[in-house]
Structure 1
Amino acid sequence: MYWKKLSHEEVKKAVFDALNENHDYRGENPALGVPGTYLDTTEFYHDAPFLKDAPFMSVMVNNPNHIGIHTLSEESVLDIFKGTQKIERDLINLVAEQIFGGEKGQQDGYVATGGTEANIQAIWVYRNYFRDEFKAKTEEIAVVYSQDSHYSMPKGANLLNLHNIILEVDEETRQIKQESLENKIAEAKEAGYKYFIVIANLSTTMFGSVDDVDLLGDFFTAANVQFRIHVDAAYGGFIYPFTNEDSAFTFKNPYITSITSDGHKMLQTPYGTGLFLIRKGYIHHVCTQEAQYIPGKDYTLSGSRSGANAVSMWMILKIHGSEGLKYKMASLCDRAERICKKLERMGVEYFRNPHLNIITMKAAYISDRIAKKYNLVADSYEFGAKWYKIVVMHHVRQGALDSFLMDLEGELVSKG
């Protein structure tokens, strides 16, 4: 993994050069057929002096549409927004190849509204893949995921009329129980399910737990069924590859076909910067043929998309470079490790993956007062909390963490 860090001036020049390649709504050449325009100048005036030094805000004001997927061919790029759409293509290639080890030019993808959309996009692709390639009936396809998985999995299965298979996890290790995997898939096969869309978590939302993707791949291969594995790395995708050099979650792993990774978590980009990546040869299964007015047609759930969001991700990756991001993510893990050592001295039971910055503590040690004071997040607000988590993000000051630890220790000592 390596890409060069760029200076602020280099990033700014690249973005403004891309904007200059885009159609200028205020220019002499009219775009009479486009149902879009720049932002309303009553509030978002285009000649604000600060914009000349604000490439992201300039893209926002110019409002390019990144509808479609731009990694398929040059024909998939809408000519009037070709400059910033090229930046999105460069972004997809950089993340797929440098961060997730893909072969050059062998992945498609797009910037989605977030991890939820990207996960549903994957389920949609594989449902159609099984129907197109194997003549599978919808009632023969199931989505398989652990009980710790994100709610986008049942949401996607519901939208696409697919059966859910939810695997139990060990309460302490948060790993999928082998017995649950074996029994539930055996039951599913007996019930007539032949095709499996398998979700492997690269950091669950609540625990930061990481599924054993090779175990899943080996199991379904031995089961002699058709399956495809999608990796939900919405949280872990922009930290785990930088903190674990031996990560199995790359496109070098033949079991992995697609990956979700959110920029608006660890990259600190705006909301609306989820990333969907998939190997070549799959995305055509969700082509919307009726989108005849779009060059290259559309393959996404969202359709029209903000070009500024793609640009923001590209800017962050380029301004830090790979080495800068490795340092940044390692620093967060170092801070999380120090907290864990203090929790251990207090006797507080917790779960943490050593390559991530999520610490999830058993609720028995956390009072309602502390949970509310420090805005800790519970695993359930409906059935009562069993766990509370801390996420050591960039905005979390050390003083706030020290205050929490002192407060917690004081309560535990007073309880005896």
Structure 2
Amino acid sequence: MIYPEQLAISEQGLTHAKKETLLTRFFENMSEKKQLFLGYQTNQDVQFSSSLLPFLTLNLLNLGDGFEDGSYEINAKQFERAVIDYYARLWGFSTSFPPRSYWGHTTAMGSTEGNLYALWNARDYLNGYAVEGHHQAVQTKNKPVVIYSEATHYSVKKSCQILGLSTFNDAGPYLGDCPINQGNWQQALATKESGAVKEEDLYRIAAFFLERDYPIILILNHGTTFSGGSDAINRIINHLKPILGNNSEFDRRYWIHVDGALSANFSPYLKDDPFAISQDPYEFRHPDVMSICSSPYKWIGAPWACGIFLMREKFKVGSPHRPSYIAGRDSTVSGSRQGIYALYLWERLSTLGTQGLKKIAIRNEHNANYLHQQLTRLAQFQPNLIVMPKPNGSNIVRFSTPNDKINRQFSLAQDDVEVKGKNQRMSHVVVLSHVTQHMLDRLLDELSTPYAFQKPKSIQHPLTANYFGFFK
């Protein structure tokens, strides 16, 4: 354990020996936690190529727009563009002919920044600002309203507050009776057991605002934070299309954004052809999706958080602000982004290639299915263990929260999930590259003990002794 006073920065500083001792102890502690790290969406299998080490002696700064060179010469924008181009092809944003029809950038954060940018651009687009496809601003009748489900990442609510955007909960009470939730506007847009939005409720809420000439910003999820479940994006958009209509220069009716924080990185690789877009209800690559973001560091592993944001360029709000200081557009939230992020992503993606990425996705899917099957088997012996169905294509497995010792031991995240009409506290495992079958067996072995799900004094149904240690 490292005590705060040992880390205090003094006037004289710390000796090299003391610093080395503290850092060694800290690294050993983190490495120990990594051995059983199962509960969060961050891949701890970080492979930092030695070929990138020299670049850590530079401040590679991608300043301003990644598609403009600008005047800051020590940058990695060409690598950023290569990464964005790859994701544009993977997510169906690129066309087989020039010119480029998409715009995007690597983010300084994960998908939180991507969600913020999407909402920022959506707000200004629907408020009539000039955009790349239409260079004149237009008058709009009403302010946009944001619609999202209760499983949507908490960063969306925060971004709405930052940007002064009204959610359907905020705007609805001024316009009439709520068409869902027994008329209660303050209730969230409910989800199914998988974490996918209840579609009929979504349709009714969307219709309510569109019929009153309020443009909507619709946030859809491809891989929710806790369940890994996905909204049926293809089916939802096709169903809504008759009332959404078409966006035009003078009639801006909607913005559709997909938060694909984790799943958008790997779900295409679970198909025979990762680049082939299907008509599956849960296909997230729909031509009416106007923006999308993800956090590739969560899936392929990285020593820092970073993300990908991509959108249809013709809907991008113009960036008239061109500081002479950077000789280009100041068109991102953070203004400047570390070029080493783009360089790292390019190195990992180009090393693995499409086939390597496909192997990782399939291996993780296999391990997630293994854990779910073994937990289901264990539930026959553990009276207090509930195992939730695993959404198709999800690498997340949910089950009843065990005791605090096990939660801490495996760094398990928790949340309340409605099961048969009652809220149940659940934990989950996120299966990523660092998660081995041995780690999963360690967890299963702990969960098979008599007191795994309740305090010893309250045990009423002791387990069969022969089952203990089964997974060793």
Could you say which residue in structure 1 is the equivalent of 2:345? Answer: 313
From the superposition, tell whether residues 414 and 186 of structure 1 become closer, same or farther in structure 2 (CA, over 3 Å).
same
Cα drift, residue 189 of structure 1: 5.0
Alignment of 1:70-89 (within 5 A): 70-71=66-67, 76-81=68-73, 84-89=76-81
**1:11 aligned residue:** none
**Deviations 1:56-104 (CA, angstroms, capped at 9, x unpaired):** 2322321121022223xxxx11254376211111111011114546225
- The one-letter code sitting in structure 2 at the alignment partner of 1:93 is D
The question of 1:204 aligning with 2:203 is answered no
Amino acid at match of 1:196: I
Alignment of 1:97 with 2:145, yes or no, is: no
Q: Please, which of 194, 198, 221 is the counterpart of residue 173 of structure 1? A: 194
Q: 1:296 aligns with which of 328, 343, 347?
A: 328
Q: Distance in 2 between matches of 1:99 and 1:188?
A: 29
- Does the 8 Å CA contact 1:343/1:349 hold for their aligned counterparts? yes
How far residue 380 of structure 1 moved from its aligned partner, in angstroms, is: 5.6
1: distance between equivalents of 2:58 and 2:294?
26
Aligned-pair CA distance for 1:254 = 1.3
> What is the match of residue 175 of structure 2?
none
Matching residue within 290, 303, 314 for 1:270: 303
Bigger RCO (CA 8 Å, 6+ sep): 2
Contact 1:379 1:387 in 2 (8 A): yes
**Is the Cα contact below 8 Å between 1:202 and 1:232 reproduced in 2?**
yes
| Cα-to-partner distance string for 1:265-315 (whole Å, 9 max, x where unaligned) | 0011232321101112123x1525153432331111000111101100011
Aligned to 1:62: 58
Which residue in 2 is equivalent to 1:396? 435
Task: Return the alpha-carbon distance in structure 2 between the equivalents of residues 219 and 277 of structure 1.
Answer: 24
How far apart, in 2, do the equivalents of 1:208 and 1:270 lie? 23
Give the stretch that moved more between structures: 259-268 or 91-100.
Answer: 91-100
| Counterpart-to-counterpart distance in 1, 2:202 and 2:283 | 23
8 Å contact kept, 1:358–1:389: yes
Q: Check if 1:195 corresponds to 2:215.
A: yes
Give SS of 2:443's match: helix
1:54 to 1:60, Cα distance in 2 relative to 1, 3 A:
same
Q: Is the CA contact 2:265–2:299 (under 8 Å) kept in the aligned structure 1?
A: yes
Asked whether the 8 Å contact 2:160–2:166 carries over to 1, the reply is yes
Structure 1 counterpart SS, 2:462 = helix
Counterpart of 1:320, as a letter, is L
For 1:132 and 1:55, the matched residues in 2 are separated by: 47
Q: Does 1:414 align with 2:462?
A: yes
Q: What SS is found at the alignment partner of 1:359? A: strand
The answer as to whether partners of 2:61 and 2:76 remain within 8 angstroms in 1 is no
Give the one of 359, 367, 378 matched to 2:403.
367
What RMSD, in angstroms, separates the aligned Cα atoms of the two structures? 2.8
Q: How far is 1:391 from its partner? A: 0.8
Q: Is 1:242 paired with 2:242?
A: no
Quick one: which amino acid aligns to residue 184 of structure 1?
Answer: I
Is this contact kept in 2: 1:101–1:251, CA < 8 A? no
2:358 is aligned with 1:355: no
* Partner deviation per Cα, 1:189-244 (whole Å, 9 max, x = no partner): 57x56111111111011110111112331343233462121111111121111114
Unaligned runs of 5+ in 1: 1-42, 44-52
Q: Does 1:112 align with 2:107?
A: yes
Aligned to 2:5: none
Aligned to 1:231: 258
Compared CA separation, residues 174 and 230, structure 1 to 2 (3 A): same
- The structure number with the bigger radius of gyration is 2
Stretch deviating more after TM superposition (324-333 or 403-412) = 403-412
Q: Could you tell me the percent identity over the aligned residues?
A: 26
AA of the residue aligned to 1:119: N
Matched to 1:326, the amino acid is K
Q: Deviations over 1:4-39 (max 9, x none)?
A: xxxxxxxxxxxxxxxxxxxxxxxxxxxxxxxxxxxx
Superposed displacement of residue 135, structure 1:
2.9
Change in Cα spacing, 1:250 to 1:88, as seen in structure 2 (3 Å) is farther
Report if aligned partners of 2:209, 2:215 keep a CA contact under 8 Å in 1. Answer: no
**In 2, Cα distance between the equivalents of 1:181 and 1:219?**
11
User: Is residue 273–residue 313 contact of structure 1 (8 Å, CA) maintained in 2?
Assistant: no
- Secondary structure of 1:167's partner? coil
Alpha-carbon distance between aligned partners in 1 of 2:74 and 2:360, rounded to the nearest angstrom: 32
User: C-alpha separation between the residues in 1 aligned to 2:65 and 2:295?
Assistant: 17
More helix by share: 1
For residues 368-395 of structure 1, what are the alpha-carbon distances to aligned partners after superposition, in whole Å with 9 as ceiling and x for unaligned?
A: 33323322110269xx962211011222
Give 1:125's aligned amino acid: N
Q: Which of 140, 145, 155 is equivalent to 2:158? A: 155
Equivalents in 1 of 2:155, 2:139: separation in Å?
26
Change beyond 3 A, Cα 1:282–1:396: same
1:129 matched to 2:125 = yes
Q: What amino acid is the match of 2:116?
A: I
CA distance in structure 2 between the aligned counterparts of 1:362 and 1:222, rounded to whole angstroms: 42
1:88 partner letter = E
Aligned length: 353
